[in-house]
Amino acid sequence: MPDPNPAVLDYLLTRRSRPAKTLTTPVPTAEELMPILTAGLRVPDHGKLEPWRLVVVTKPAMARLADLAEARARALGGNEEKIAKGRGQFDQGNLAVVVIYSPKAQEKVPDIEQLLSAGCVCLGLVNAAQAAGWGACWLTGWVSHDRPFVEAAFDLAPQESVMGIVHIGTETAVPPERPRPDVAALTRWMTE
């Protein structure tokens, strides 16, 4: 017989990411962040490979990353919009957890399962932060996928990549509800 947890189900049915630009201080202390990180890492991890690692970015590091993003955008010949987009999340950010996909070379667990596990860490961190009372948002953008930027910013090894940058802070606004997927239209039932 199932043992329902209505509070968790209600949370999952109503959760919404908070736009990073609406998050402010205070942010979790290192002590407050540890249970969020611990919960965020409780994800499917076939073979117990731990194909991910975390980089916690605090406010002082945000300024360096903003400057690095601007320099990289300018080197690419980016327009002011690209420069602003690259700088934006770091200029406005106060605390973020960067989830690094760090696949392990072995034969048992396919790369796709390792990749999915790292993606689960991003969502796990958002859910854990919100469950702890903080606002959170999972971002990517060009700064997450530009190889020279991520190598310089987060000291990535050649096989690693950024799965997401999870911003965490105090909410200043609750976002309005948005249209959600039509479950019936997207679901096929196989009965035989």
**pLDDT surpassing 90 at residue 1:** no
* 46 marked as binding residue: yes
Going by pLDDT thresholds of 50, 70 and 90, the confidence category of residue 46 is confident
Indicate the DSSP class of residue 20. Answer: G
* 52 marked as binding residue: no
* 170 marked as binding residue: no
What is the per-residue pLDDT for 174?
83
* 16 marked as binding residue: yes
How far is it, in rounded angstroms, from Cα 122 to Cα 138?
7
In tens, the pLDDT along 67-92 reads: 999 999 999 998 899 899 999 999 99
* 72 marked as binding residue: no
What is the per-residue pLDDT for 117?
97
What is the per-residue pLDDT for 17?
84
Alpha helix (H) residue ranges in the chain:
6-14, 30-40, 59-75, 80-92, 111-131, 142-145, 147-154, 183-186
CB 101 within 8 A of CB 91: no
In tens, the pLDDT along 133-178 reads: 999 999 999 999 999 999 999 999 999 999 999 999 999 998 888 8
CATH architecture of 18-59+93-142+155-171: 3-Layer(aba) Sandwich (3.40)
- Report pTM: 0.95
What ranges do the domains of the chain cover? Answer: 18-59+93-142+155-171
How far is it, in rounded angstroms, from Cα 83 to Cα 100?
23
Query: Region 53-57: what's the mean pLDDT?
Result: 98
Which carries the bigger pLDDT value, residue 37 or residue 78?
37
How distant, in Å, are the alpha carbons of 59, 96, 127, 142, 167 from that of 70?
Answer: 17, 18, 30, 12, 19
What is the per-residue pLDDT for 170?
97
* 144 marked as binding residue: no
Report the SS3 class of residue 111: helix
